[in-house]
């Protein structure tokens, strides 16, 4: 078992000021794999003070100076990728192949894309020819609190930390207490890259402790948060008294609209996508809306794909799905499956309980419900497990209306070989992202949601601008 009871503050590894031990559980085995400390208010204050102290000089560094350090960080991150993949796989249960490719890889590509965004960014711009003595200056917002979840740990940490560093901000990172090991390793990399003391600080803690202390802290200028809508609301309220900027990346209930003219792999692709990372992705396509003429065939394909989805331990090589992250998450998913059955959903694959032979570990059976209507709990709430619902529709308008009938609006998906129709539908979907026919959003594309999915945009230029203030100056010569 690893002893990780330390924080990274003001360029040093330091012991916590009080002792609040917290066990990190390996979800594949239910065993304790590490112990961390949950910070106290004194730890939070020390970290914020270090970030405040470092801000004046870091915010005045040139783009070129920041790029040198970010490029060093990129090299170190790539050199230590195997360690990072193992940390992620152990703390949150992603199978090692997924942890090495998508999970760890997401961090690597965000670092690369944010470096590219920084290189091309003009912090100092003219207003226009009509006002030649006016300049618009983009400046670092200040000390940032970065609060991240456990489901794609390095994806979220790099989107925040690297963007904030690139913008010239200083920061305190509070990673998820459930999956803190990857962030502790990331802090080692920052240290190794040689960022000045106080620019980046890490304090472990839970939401009610360090999380709330940061969101209400008078010396914190901005909170960038990724996690549940529940916590996003609490943070926004707590930040209101000090009028902080609050950037939120919250939950989702992605609709995947499959028209009758979709390509033949569309249904299978949609099911696999939903189950990827054991369904623990905010942008998972969890509601498959299928045009009536294709519906029964889609139900059969979805059931077959679910039955063929292997579930196994995270340390095993291969393309199975791993456990879900915790007992709490497992119980929540079981409760929602039960509710789906009780509300009249037709269970066509999976269901309650653990897959055969996997009694220890938080393993969930890949589950598909047919004949769901959009008002059922299982169609409205984010399950965050390998659970897909299928909903039939008759017309394009009805499909759009069902997709948009959700408090969330993160990512929706459209499957059709009629590109005019697919584009038309994409325009009408109330979501921050739409992916057509299994395509991927390009490097540096903005990630974020409409409605209760949040208000920020992360990645690329938009991610950088999240951490910048805008200053208008007249009389500039
Ligand atoms: P969570 O909201 O419980 O926790 C996320 C982080 O917030 C953790 O670090 C936690 O300690 C902290 N936290 C919790 N309550 C807090 C409070 N009151 N004040 C300050 N900090 C607080 O979420 P989770 O269970 O870790 O993650 C799963 C959720 O994250 C899902 O709802 C998922 O959809 C969402 N998510 C969204 C995105 C996105 O970009 N839109 C990406 C990944 C995950």
**Could you tell me the pLDDT band of residue 440, with boundaries at 50, 70 and 90?**
very high
Mean pLDDT value across residues 15-43 = 97
Triad 149, 171, 174: Cα angle to 5°? 25
Q: How far is the CA of 146 from the centre of ligand 1 (A)?
A: 11
At 1, the pLDDT band (50, 70, 90 cuts) reads: confident
Please give the Cα distance from 141 to 131 (Å, whole number): 26
Average pLDDT over all residues of the chain? 98
Separation of alpha carbons 460 and 112, rounded Å: 9
Can you give the pLDDT at residue 217?
Answer: 98
The tokens for 25 are: 């559980």
Read off the pLDDT of residues 72-105 as tens digits, 9 standing for 90 and up. Answer: 999 999 999 999 999 999 999 999 999 999 999 9
DSSP designation for 454:
B
User: What's the full length of the chain, in residues?
Assistant: 477
Does the CA dihedral 173-222-116-62 come out positive or negative?
Answer: negative
Give exposure, 195-223, as e/b (b: 16+ Cβ within 10 Å): beebbbbbbbbbbebbbbbbbbbebbbbb
Task: Find, among 311, 292, 254, 315, the residue nearest to 393 by Cα.
Answer: 292
- % residues pLDDT > 70 (the chain): 100
**Position 19 pLDDT exceeds 90:** no
What spacing in Å lies between the alpha carbon of 226 and ligand 1's midpoint? 5
Which DSSP symbol is given to 458?
B
Nearest ligand 1 atom to alpha carbon 249:
41
Q: What is the pLDDT of residues 242-285, one digit of tens each?
A: 999 999 999 999 999 999 999 999 999 999 999 999 999 999 99
Q: Over the stretch 326-357, which tens digit does the pLDDT of each residue have?
A: 999 999 999 999 999 999 999 999 999 999 99
Tell me if 454 CB under 6 Å of ligand 1: yes
| The token pair that represents 139 in the structure block | 């400046």
Residue 91 Cβ < 6 Å to ligand 1: no
Nearest C-alpha to atom 23 of ligand 1 is from which residue?
227
282 is catalytic: yes
Quick: pLDDT tens for 389-437: 999 999 999 999 999 999 999 999 999 999 999 999 999 999 999 999 9
119-165 pLDDT, tens digit each: 999 999 999 999 999 999 999 999 999 999 999 999 999 999 999 99
Asked whether 7 and 202 are in contact (CB, 8 A), the reply is yes
Measured in Å, how far apart are the chain's first and last C-alpha atoms? 62
H/E run at residue 340: helix 327-342
Rounded Cα–Cα distance for residues 370 and 184 (Å): 42
- CB burial readout 45-62, b (16+ within 10 A) else e: bbbbbbbbebbeebbebe
Q: Report residue 318 as tokens.
A: 């291969």
393 forms bridges with which residues in the sheet? 291
């Amino acid at each position: 078992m690893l002893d990780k009871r330390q924080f990274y503050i003001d360029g040093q590894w330091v012991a916590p000021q009080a002792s609040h031990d917290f066990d990190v559980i390996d979800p594949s085995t239910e065993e304790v794999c590490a112990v961390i400390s949950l910070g106290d208010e004194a730890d939070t204050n020390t970290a914020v003070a270090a970030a405040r102290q470092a801000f004046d000089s870091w915010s005045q560094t040139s783009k070129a100076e920041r790029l040198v350090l970010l490029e060093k960080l990129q090299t170190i991150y790539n050199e230590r990728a195997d360690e990072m993949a193992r940390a992620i796989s152990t703390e949150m249960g992603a199978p090692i192949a997924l942890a090495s490719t998508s999970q760890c890889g997401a961090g690597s590509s965000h670092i690369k894309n944010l470096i590219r965004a920084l290189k091309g960014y003009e912090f100092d711009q003219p207003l226009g020819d009509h006002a030649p003595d006016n300049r618009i200056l983009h400046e670092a917002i200040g000390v940032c609190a970065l609060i991240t979840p456990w489901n794609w740990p390095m994806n979220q940490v790099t989107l925040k930390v690297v963007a904030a560093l690139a913008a010239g901000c200083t920061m305190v990172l509070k990673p998820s207490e459930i999956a803190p090991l990857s962030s502790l390793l990331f802090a080692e990399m920052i240290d190794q890259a040689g960022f000045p003391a106080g620019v980046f600080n890490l304090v472990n803690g839970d939401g009610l402790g360090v999380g709330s202390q940061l969101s209400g802290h008078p010396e914190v200028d901005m909170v960038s948060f990724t996690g549940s809508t529940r916590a996003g609301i609490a943070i926004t309220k707590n930040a209101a008294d000090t009028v902080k900027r609050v950037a939120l990346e919250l939950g989702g209930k992605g609709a995947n609209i499959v028209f009758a003219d979709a390509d033949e792999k569309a249904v299978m692709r949609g099911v696999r996508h939903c189950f990827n990372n054991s369904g623990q992705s905010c942008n998972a396509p969890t509601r498959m809306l299928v045009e009536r003429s294709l519906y029964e065939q889609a139900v059969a394909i979805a059931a077959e794909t679910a039955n063929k989805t292997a579930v196994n331990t995270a340390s095993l090589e291969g393309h199975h799905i791993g456990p879900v992250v915790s007992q709490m998450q497992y119980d929540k998913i079981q409760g929602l499956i039960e509710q789906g059955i009780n509300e009249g959903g037709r269970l066509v694959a999976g269901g309650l309980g653990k897959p055969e032979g996997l009694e220890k570990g938080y393993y969930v059976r890949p589950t598909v419900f047919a004949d769901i209507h959009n008002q059922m709990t299982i169609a409205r709430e984010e399950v965050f497990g390998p659970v897909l619902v299928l909903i039939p529709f008759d017309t394009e308008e009805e499909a759009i209306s069902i997709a948009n009938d959700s408090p969330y609006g993160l990512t929706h998906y459209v499957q059709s070989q009629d590109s005019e129709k697919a584009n038309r539908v994409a325009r009408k979907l109330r979501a921050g992202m739409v992916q057509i026919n299994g395509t991927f959003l390009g490097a540096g594309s903005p990630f974020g949601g409409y409605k209760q999915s949040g208000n920020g945009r992360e990645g690329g230029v938009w991610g950088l601008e999240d951490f910048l203030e805008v200053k208008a100056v007249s009389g500039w010569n």
